[in-house]
Amino acid sequence: MAGAARKKLVGRYEVGRTIGQGAFAKVKFAVDSDTGAAVAMKVLDKATILNHRMMHQIKREISIMKIVRHPNIVRLNEVLAGQTKIYIILELITGGELFDKIARQGKLRENESRKYFQQLIDAIDYCHSKGVYHRDLKPENLLLDSHGNLKVTDFGLSTLSQNGFLHTTCGTPNYVAPEVLSKDGYDGSAADVWSCGVILYVLMAGYLPFEENDLPTLYDKITAAHFSCPDWFSSGAKSLIQRILDPNPKTRMTVEGIRADAWFKNNYVAHKRGEDENVCLDDVQAVFDNIEDKYVSEQVTHNDGGPLIMNAFEMITLSQGLDLSSLFDRQQEYVKRQTRFVSRKPARTIAATIQVVADSMGIKVHSYNYKLRLEGVSSNKMSPFAVVLEIFEVAPSLFMVDVRKVAGDTLEYHRFYKNLCSKLESIIWRPIEVSAKSALLRTTTC
């Protein structure tokens, strides 16, 4: 497509494609123009934050992420403010969510599960030493870097406490400790340990220990710790999980007890703590206290109105390695939360076809340039469901469509994506050469 690519600069960062989206923020791929380093840029709209009275929560989350500096926690580098946006510069993690690895494999091998659990306990123990309690630990909030190491993220529900005694009921129902559901307060450390135990169970089983369609029944099971371990769990793993998922927080296993457990210590290499970094929160204060005075330069250079052009670096990052076949081969056995397909049709035709298909499915469509937001209601009629589709030019006459879930149940999104693709067969390109090459690699790789 003729014309220069559309670029946006925020301070010294060149901003690229959207790689994540939530209710209050977008996450963009960006490059530090001074160093050439790739980063993740979380973009928050000031008006939205103020309208939803989220200022205190966002400031707390940013401050906590600057305080916790650990190899198994996503690193926050700095915070910038524009006239209408707040920009949080984060370490770019390219290995995806641990949830996706479980969805792909069903369950993980015991040694692999133990490695992730060891790294999780290291990270959470460090947080607790700083008076930080996460309160929303689950596989969706655990990322994997390019070396396969675990990184804890999403401190939106976390809190700082001197004594660790908390009162706010929060978290994801299937992972929440029974005492959090009461009104008597709870120990933040014990509650996080319970969530870690649920995560270990999910890693090894491929499914949840507590799962029911209605919340009252689910909470009854959690309160009674009514679960059983599959036969393939080793005796050591079963014993550890049973002692962690103790409904009594006073007798529940502690982090110190977990570290002393024989099953946990197998092949365990403890992270050596160096001297704590001197963390400066001045930039956080500047963003929130002097919000009208501290601005970074925001510049946008537009192309001819076509879709964004994705460069090679972004493609490599997106594919989580140098093998780009995963970008184009959609013959996969699983669907992740972020999915994509490729088309040789013109960008306008792709957008128009998606609009028609969405209309036929009774889904509301909002479109801007070459980005479409599809909104509907979940199958249980209880919650909103939304996805965002964005069209990118990856080569002349070759376009990639990113599809991302932004609201709703993940499993429902899996079903939606497969249904959507079945209705878009007329525009989806499936290159025979790439598929054949992928098949050959699968049969020749040990």
List the binding residues for ATP: 42
The greatest distance separating any two alpha carbons of the chain, rounded to the nearest whole angstrom, comes to 67
CA separation for the pair 40, 93 (Å, rounded): 8
Please name the amino acid found at residue 34: D
Looking at the DSSP bridge assignments, the partners of residue 10 are 13, 298
Binding-site residues, please?
Answer: 42
DSSP code for 310: P
CB 102 within 8 A of CB 139: yes
**Both tokens of residue 216?**
């009252």
3-state secondary structure of 82: coil
- The closest alpha carbon to 109, from 204, 219, 231, 210, belongs to 204
- The closest alpha carbon to 227, from 213, 238, 214, belongs to 238
Listing DSSP states for 143-204 in one string gives EE-TTS-EEE---TT-EE-SS-EE----S-GGG--GGGGSSS-EEHHHHHHHHHHHHHHHHH
**Both tokens of residue 439?**
């098949």
Please tell me the total number of residues recorded for the chain in this structure: 446
Half-sphere exposure of 400 (CA within 13 A, CB side): 25
Listing DSSP states for 320-366 in one string gives TSS-THHHH----S---SEEEEEE-S-HHHHHHHHHHHHHHTT-EEE
Listing DSSP states for 242-303 in one string gives HHHS-S-TTTSPPHHHHHH-HHHHTT--PPPP-PPP----HHHHHHHHSTTT----EEEE--
CB 230 within 8 A of CB 207: no
For this structure, is 136 an active site residue? Answer: yes
Query: Which member of 136, 154, 246, 402 is catalytic?
Result: 136
3-state secondary structure of 96: coil
> Annotated catalytic sites, by residue?
136
